[in-house]
Amino acid sequence: MISSDRSITGNGARVRRYRAIHRRIDYIPSPDVLPIIEHYRKQGTDNCLAGVMDYLIRTAHQAITGNGGA
């Protein structure tokens, strides 16, 4: 199957538009942190790794600041 020129260039443009709004942060957890992330992922907090990270960051922020706001 031959891809069209539009499908090749269209994907790159779509990704650039998405990344302009949704910033990507590459993250490799420390060996002692990975079991914590896996614990919450298996607990069902969120099946997605990004969702678990969001949950943990929000929870830590609330614990540190005493509120859930940014």
- Flag whether the pTM goes above 0.85: no
Q: What's the N-to-C CA distance of the chain in angstroms?
A: 49
Is 23 a domain residue?
yes
The pLDDT score that the predictor gives to residue 32 is: 96
| Count of structural domains, the chain | 1
Q: CA 10 to CA 27: how far, in whole Å?
A: 27
Residue 70 within a domain: no
Residue environment code for 1-28, b if the CB has 16+ CB neighbours within 10 A, otherwise e: eeeeeeeeeeeeeeeeeeeeeeeeeeee
DSSP assignment, residue 67?
S
Predicted pLDDT at 8: 57
Q: Is residue 29 part of a domain?
A: yes
pLDDT of res. 70? 57
In tens, the pLDDT along 34-59 reads: 999 889 888 886 778 888 988 999 99
